[in-house]
Structure 1
């Protein structure tokens, strides 16, 4: 086995959500396990027991209960939680009452500067946008697509879409015209929400021509909504800010467990990108399970450095679903220098920061020593994915970033919007190794 680089204190391990879940299983189900692997074996053999425990422990909001956890045990064709009626957005908005003025979103944008949204503001803006979408004729099952950066606009638009049972799909604004069309033309969207330009590495990027081409090539569109930055509002478009003016109550359309929530895509390296549909209930349960491995909780402050075109953008909802503040960074991660992200981590007092392995390797090669340059006293956890994190990068993190930090690289995929290998807050970290299944 490789050298141990970090071991959690007993106090930290016992205070983790994973440990709390184990105590829940003992108290509520009479289940005890010798170690994590024994609990893992139970989770993949007693599917009804495990997933019903996840549902109960995480207090999944549903207007109608499921009649069974699995109605059909076959692949393909497995049927999960028939009878359940719910909405993914309710799992986020349930946190408003307990922390109405707390931070829901912190956004640091190279284009627009810093913004903060409380939980109440997030709910109210989602309700307003949803009311406008209904006015446009968007109903359950319609597709709303967006070309937006990793900012609060995309978050609000997604929640508004999901809350009415419509289906969301997102592309990053730096994607090419053909790449975006190859995705969106397959799903015949009713509404397009887009930002006409942005700032990256100090330079303004104008996207108006590409967006105009999208509008022409998507005949199913009934409305375009624009976030204007580089130019005037195009004729016939609605300004994004005008969608935030409605004093409307938050309402959610209840949908079956497997009703489509969002559409993501394969890379498109072999033919057209393949649309991948994830359902409301599946994402609720997958996110809940995954939050055990990230140790998310109310009051935490989380950021994963991601483009809006990467499945890690969707992973931000895993944290929000547990009442954790999500900090979003929209800009070049190396401008004006490689230290900009670490200053963001310090300034926002983040306790969990994740990024692609290439980011950490880039910082290491640039000779950064974040522990000497910024205050990382709040930082407790680091995540990595996208490619393997080298043993050298493990060593750099523990010697140059922080000695007492839980490093939890993960490996998963767009096709399941989840991970196969993750971290465990009660296990040691070994050089060059991920922690657990």
Structure 2
């Protein structure tokens, strides 16, 4: 029986899920908090705002901009750097570790206490102030996974400046595009970064980006690393020399609605979207999430194996752990080959990590090299209480492999660059629930998640549709697109008025669990039947010989689209590839049916992915459909494109012979 609640207009309505949340029933703690956050958002977030220190506490909790979108804590003032560093030093946590840095690619390790990090940030903020950086100015940061990247970000926040971090190693053109859009006063870069098998000098990339950019910053600051030296020219400043001559800078109070950072994400027009995050809502939401979603308490160690160039790095390496008073682990390495498939387990044991967060693709890489978990057996990870995965859908085969391997909850949770923190999760700090393979469990309090059909009506249980979030969006979500409010509205709000369009497809099951099946453009139309490529990938990935897979829809003159599977076998696979392909085709036909028209599988050794681990399915479709394609700035291994293209050519797949690299 569905439980009835009152909506904001006072009418009685059916709860959108089939979960019984009456007091005393299972999941009542979650339901009570979720109901409070959705039905009384101002009261709920006013209470959460008390978790962080304010210069001027907010009285107006929720307001709306001229397009009707939520703005939180509009009359409050605070400083994110103070909330994450100075506040903890002043509260007696100064000698606790704020940051552990571990770099197997260089053999270096460091520990920074809250006091040490606060002092380094204050000095570097003073150095930036000496270059003319003030409140509201933009600073582009082009850095690898080193502690100084966090120092630079917090130094900007300390001054009220707006940072925009660009992943170290991005191509000059992509860096130039971001510099032109953000118009920074200063660019901060390291002399270089390290990949598994090579050193990448950053200075030539920065110089080329500045040469072609229409915007010229006032200065460039270079952090010299031992692995590569950068030659400094006109307008260049040495990081250490600036710090040696600087005076510490104090925290500058800013409005809660003032921007903290711009983070660029890919856009369909080719021009990246500059997602803007505010200060106050961001701090409140992240602090709440560390407690409620991840179950973290002050003093505990949190490890996110992402990169600071991505939103996960911003939220759960740099800001959330320190806002909560935890210790963050910064890792300059890979899941495998630095030096082996046991790297994560070594870090968890050595630093006594309580909660670990990474992308499913990282564990697919580990499973490929170590399918039986032999490296895990070499380490004592009894300190670990939960494993969190996000960034792309956690396929059930990988979920079950991890669940069998580990004695802790394996938690698939779902969120986006735009939201900045989890939309749906299994809430370890509120009420841990049973898990379901393929599900992100339930919406996080504050996110009114619904599934709508193409007519904008709520979909029935187990029926796929567009996953949307009813306004108002909670604190911490994007405040807009930098310098482009119309694009913000058109990209996210126009499709279903009153709702934020996530761009993901999925469904709620009869128990109220949310299943995210992938981007809506990964739904293919075969002879009028809309089929999820995620479901097919689930079947392929369950085969014991398959380490990783992707299914794409390619153009077909008769049926509109046809599915094609690309699979990477496990390292231990020594069978016949043709036989494997035939087995996989039969498996899909058995599990999904002949309606899928699944008749083609390619065995490949690698797939094109972003550095954050997402498979570039749209790019694969372009190759198969004979379209022009380019090497995206986010790609991890550019040679993977040529490899897949050649594999398609050998099999005469689709229109791959007409595809052209531009």
TM-score bin (small chain): 0.7 to 0.9
Deviations 1:70-118 (A, max 9, x none): 2348853433223211111111021123221111001112246111111
Matches within 5 A, 1:218-297: 218=213, 219-229=215-225, 230-236=228-234, 237-245=236-244, 248-249=247-248, 251-291=250-290, 292-297=292-297
Give yes or no for contact 2:335–2:343 (8 Å, CA) kept in 1: yes
CA–CA separation in structure 1 for the residues paired with 2:273 and 2:382: 43
Please state how far the C-alpha of 1:318 moved relative to its aligned partner: 1.1
> Quick one: structure 1 residues 112 and 365, their matched pair in 2 at CA, closer, same or farther if it must change by over 3 Å?
closer
Mark the CA change 1:368 to 1:246 in structure 2 (over 3 Å): closer, same or farther. Answer: farther
Candidates 348, 358, 363, aligned match of 2:361: 358
2:211 is paired with a residue whose SS is helix
CA deviation string 1:171-202 (max 9, x = no partner)? 11121111222222111111111112222114
Does the 8 Å contact 2:176/2:210 carry over to 1? no
1-structure distance, mates of 2:307, 2:98: 19
1:248 deviates by: 4.3
Give secondary structure in 1 for the equivalent of 2:135.
Answer: coil
SS of 1:411's partner is coil
Query: Which residue pairs with 2:313 in the alignment?
Result: 313
Which residue number in structure 1 is paired with residue 68 of structure 2?
A: 76
1:406 positional shift:
2.7
Indicate yes or no: 2:385 matched with 1:380.
yes
Aligned length in residues: 401
Q: Deviations over 1:199-227 (max 9, x none)?
A: 21142222332111123344431111112
Q: Which of 92, 95, 107 is the aligned partner of 2:84?
A: 92
What is the RMSD computed on CA atoms of the aligned residues?
A: 2.0
Tell me which moved more, 77-86 or 222-231. Answer: 77-86
Aligned to 2:440: 434
CA offsets 1:247-305 (integer angstroms, 9 cap, x no match): 74552111111001000112134320011111101211221221221112111111111
Structure 1 residue ranges (4+ consecutive) displaced by more than 6 angstroms after TM superposition: none
Asked whether the 8 Å contact 2:265–2:275 carries over to 1, the reply is: yes
Q: Please tell me whether the aligned partners of residues 105 and 117 of structure 1 are also in contact (alpha carbons under 8 angstroms).
A: yes
1: distance between equivalents of 2:335 and 2:362?
Answer: 8
Paired residue secondary structure (1:399): helix
Superposed CA deviations along residues 6-48 of structure 1, whole A, max 9, x for unmatched, are xxxxxxxxxxxxxxxxxxxxxxxxxxx9331232011011011
- Whether the aligned pair in 2 keeps the contact of 1:394 and 1:431 (CA below 8 Å) is no
Aligned 8 A contact 1:124 1:248 in 2? no
Match 1:322 to one of 321, 324, 328: 324
Task: Tell me if structure 2 keeps the 8 A contact 1:304–1:355.
Answer: yes
Q: Which residue is equivalent to 2:203?
A: 208
Instruction: State how far apart, in whole Å, the 1-side matches of 2:267 and 2:42 are.
Output: 36
1:167 corresponds in structure 2 to 162
Normalising to structure 2: TM-score of the pair?
Answer: 0.58
Structure 2 gaps of 5+ residues are 1-26, 444-662
**Alignment partners' CA distance in 2, 1:77 and 1:232:** 45
Query: In structure 2, do the counterparts of structure 1 residues 371 and 334 end up closer, same or farther at CA, with 3 Å as the change threshold?
Result: closer
For 1:16-165, list aligned pairs within 5 A.
34-56=28-50, 58=51, 60-72=52-64, 76-93=68-85, 94-97=87-90, 98-109=92-103, 110-111=105-106, 113-165=108-160
1:184 paired with 2:184, answer: no
**SS of residue matched to 2:415:** strand
Asked if the contact 1:150/1:313 (under 8 Å) is kept, the reply is no
Rounded to whole Å, the distance in 2 between the matches of 1:191 and 1:247 is 16
2:347 aligned partner: 344
Q: Tell me which structure has the larger Cα radius of gyration.
A: 2
Cα distance in 2 for residues equivalent to 1:368 and 1:197: 36
SS of 1:379's partner is coil
Q: What is aligned with 2:303?
A: 303
Cα drift, residue 234 of structure 1: 0.9
> In structure 2, what is the Cα distance between the partners aligned to 1:124 and 1:34?
45
Which residue does the alignment assign to 1:419? 422
Measure how far apart 1:368 and its partner are: 4.7
The 3 A distance-change label for structure 1 pair 250 and 132 is closer
In structure 2, the residue matched to 1:392 is: 397
Q: Which has the higher contact order (CA 8 A, sep 6+)?
A: 1
Change in Cα spacing, 1:135 to 1:308, as seen in structure 2 (3 Å) is same
Q: Is the contact made by 2:63 and 2:70 (CA closer than 8 Å) also made in structure 1? A: yes
Separation (CA, whole Å) in 1 of partners of 2:301 and 2:381: 13
Structure 1 residues 300 and 338 mapped into 2: Cα distance closer, same or farther (>3 Å)? Answer: same
| In structure 2, C-alpha distance between the alignment counterparts of 1:361 and 1:277, rounded to whole Å | 32
SS in 1 for 2:88: coil
Match of 2:608 in 1: none
Q: TM-score, normalised by structure 1?
A: 0.87
